[in-house]
Amino acid sequence: MRQWGQSLVLAGLAGGSLTLFLGFKWAPSVSIAAFQAPEAQRIFYWHVPSAWAAMISFGLLFVGSTVWFFKRSDWAWRMHVASTEAGLATGLIAVFSGCVWGAAEWGVPWDWTDVRLNSFAVLTLLSLFLVLGRKSQPDGIETRDTFAAFGMFGFALVPFTYVATRLWQIRHPGPVVATSEGSLNSDMGYVLLIGAISFTMLVVGHIIYGMELTKLEMRVEGLQSTYEEARK
Q: What pLDDT does residue 173 have?
A: 58
90-to-57, 86, 93, 123, 182 alpha-carbon distances in Å: 8, 6, 5, 11, 27
Q: How many CA atoms lie within 13 A of 32 on its CB side?
A: 0
The confidence band for 174, taking pLDDT boundaries of 50, 70 and 90, is low
Q: Does 131 reside within a domain?
A: yes
Q: What SS3 state is found at 2?
A: helix
What's the total number of domains in the chain? 1
pLDDT tens for residues 9-61?
Answer: 999 999 999 988 988 888 776 655 556 666 777 888 888 899 999 999 999 99
Whether pLDDT at 92 is above 90:
yes
DSSP 8-state assignment for residue 113: T
Res 35: pLDDT: 60
Residue 121 belongs to some domain of the structure: yes
Give the rounded percent of residues in the chain with a pLDDT score beyond 90. 43
Q: How many helices (H) and strands (E) does the chain have?
A: 7, 0
pLDDT band at 81 (very low <50, low <70, confident <90, very high): very high
For 111-163, how does the pLDDT look when each residue is reduced to its tens digit (9 = 90+)? 777 777 888 888 899 999 999 998 888 888 999 999 999 999 888 777 776 66
| Residue 181 in domain | yes
Domain assignment present for residue 90? The answer is: yes
Is 114 within 8 Å of 172 (Cβ atoms)?
yes
Question: If phi over 0 gives left and psi between -120 and 50 gives alpha, with beta otherwise, what is residue 178?
Answer: left
Residue 44 in any domain: the answer is yes
Query: Does the residue 30 lie in any domain?
Result: no
Higher local confidence (pLDDT), 192 or 32: 192
Could you tell me the residue range of the domain that residue 151 belongs to? Answer: 2-25+40-227
Say whether pLDDT at 182 is over 60.
no
232 domain residue, yes or no: no
Give the Å distances, CA to CA, from 159 to 155, 156, 163, 170: 8, 6, 6, 19
Residue 33 lies in a domain: no
What pLDDT, on a 0 to 100 scale, did the predictor assign at position 66?
Answer: 95
**Residues 139, 100: contact at Cβ < 8 Å?**
no
pLDDT at 8: 92
User: Mean per-residue pLDDT for 64-70?
Assistant: 95
